[in-house]
Structures are given as C-alpha cells and as structure tokens.
Amino acid sequence: MKKRILLIWLTLLLIVMVGCGKEGLNDNDNNQDSNKLGKIEEVEVVEVPDMKNKTIKVKREELGEFTSIRKMESENVSAENELIKITITDYKLEELKPNDEYKDYFKDFGIVNLDEISILDINFKFENLSNDILELDSLQGRLTTNTGEEVSVLLDFFEEKDKNNFKFFEKEVKKGSVSTVLNSNAKEIESFKLIYDDYIILESNFK
C-alpha cells in the first residue's frame, strides 16, 4: 500500500502533498482568536511517485475556519550531528473547522475528527556543518507529540523547489518548513519532537 504523507503550508500557499518515502527511510506513518482568513491561497495535491500529478486548487478561506491555538515566533531550538545542524526558528498550531465539501478530502488521509483538525507549521534552518558538499538520501523525518501521535513529515525548502533540495554546499544554510495535520486535539498538544535521521531530535514545549 502506498505510504501517504500530508503536508500543509499556511503561508502564501497552503499545500497538501501525498508521497512515498525513499529507500532507507523510517516507515512510521502516518492564541485563541477565531478568524476566517481572506487571503487568496491555494491547496495543491501531488501524488508521488508515479509522477502522474493531480492538482486541486482552491482559495484558502474556502477550506473553512481557522483558529490560532499557539505560536512561537523566536524559538531557536537546535540539534546537530557531525554533519548537519537543524534549528527551529518558529512554529504555530492552528485548528481548522473545514467546510463540509472538504471533510471527505481530509478523511482520505486518516483524519478522524473532521470537525476540528489540528495543523502544525514549523519553520527551520538546515545547515551543512562540513567543508564538503553534502548530498542527502532523504528529506523525510518524523514528528511526535505529547499526546502520543506520530506522523511522517517532509522537510521542504523555500528557495529551491524540485531542484537541488538534497544537495548542500559547504557551510550552506537553507530555510525550510515542516507542516502536517494531526488527529490530536489542538488544545491538548503541549509539546512536539521533530526527528530527522533518528539522531537529530528537536524538542519544543508550547508552554
């Protein structure tokens, strides 16, 4: 069965990506102001790896009502190994009450409570600590929360889409994001861990 990863960007574009991990990846799948955002933003659905992409685009406000639950604008939590350093710069947790016409869409990705969907967005910096060109096997990681939920996530970089995402020149720093939907009640999510390559573990507490 194809493994699915759901990603949501809530900046200029709201992107939902479904994908398969590359070989050698871990196979573990999967503040309180209510407002309807009026910016024109889009949802994009991409099927991987058959390369037969199907795209659906809608305005962000058509998805439903977003409520900001928690956010941190200057976190700077970092972890590293001998080659890589990852620093979480900021994150936000939102709750989405989707409109009825999009509930089946989220249901297809295993979301149980279709009335209140938790969305976590994390921005980070990814740094090559070495003096050599670093080529990664994967950009896939895992995210766990204090509620016990664990999902697969993808590290996405802002500057280069579909080009050189896996290559880092010596001492290069790239900015990127991780976004995902969660089954856990947003008000019960108090902390999370972002895990990359099993050895780089970044832990952040909302309190």
With b for 16 or more beta-carbon neighbours within 10 A and e for fewer, the 61-74 pattern comes to bebbebbebbebee
Of 121, 126, 117, 124, give the one whose Cα is nearest residue 81: 126
Ramachandran area for residue 164 (φ above 0: left; ψ -120 to 50: alpha; else beta): left
Q: What is the pLDDT of residue 57?
A: 52
pLDDT at 207: 65
**For 6-45, how does the pLDDT look when each residue is reduced to its tens digit (9 = 90+)?**
444 332 233 333 333 333 333 334 333 333 333 334 444 3
How many C-beta atoms surround the C-beta of residue 59 within 10 A? 14
Per-residue pLDDT at 11? 29
The tens digit of pLDDT for each residue in 64-119 reads 999 999 988 877 899 999 999 999 999 999 999 999 988 988 888 889 999 999 99
Please report, for the chain, the start and end positions of each structural domain, with discontinuous segments joined by +: 44-205
Q: Which tokens belong to 94?
A: 């939102």
CA 190, 141, 23: angle at the middle one, nearest 5? 155
Fold of 44-205: Immunoglobulin-like (2.60.40)
Which H helix or E strand runs over 121?
A: strand 117-128
The whole-chain average pLDDT of the chain stands at 74
Q: Rounded distance, CA 91 to CA 184, Å?
A: 17
Using the 8-state DSSP alphabet, how is residue 166 labeled? T
Q: How many CB atoms lie within 10 A of CB 170?
A: 11
What would the two tokens of residue 11 be?
């900046």
Q: What value does the mean pLDDT take over residues 53-57?
A: 43
The answer to whether 106 and 163 have CB atoms below 8 angstroms apart is: no
Q: What angle do CA 20, 25, 29 make, to 5 degrees?
A: 60
Least confidently predicted of 68-82, 110-124, 152-166, 179-193: 152-166
Where does the pLDDT of residue 63 fall: very low under 50, low under 70, confident under 90, or very high at 90 and above? confident
Given this model, what pLDDT does residue 141 score? 94
Contact 206, 72 (CB under 8 A): yes
Is there a contact between 97 and 80 (Cβ–Cβ < 8 Å)?
A: no
Range scoring the smallest mean pLDDT among 25-39, 121-135, 170-184: 25-39
The CA–CA distances, whole Å, from 19 to 30, 49, 135, 165, 194 equal: 11, 7, 20, 16, 19
Tokens of 153: 């996530």
Predicted confidence band of residue 181 (pLDDT cuts 50, 70, 90): very high
User: What amino acid is encoded at 58 in this protein?
Assistant: V
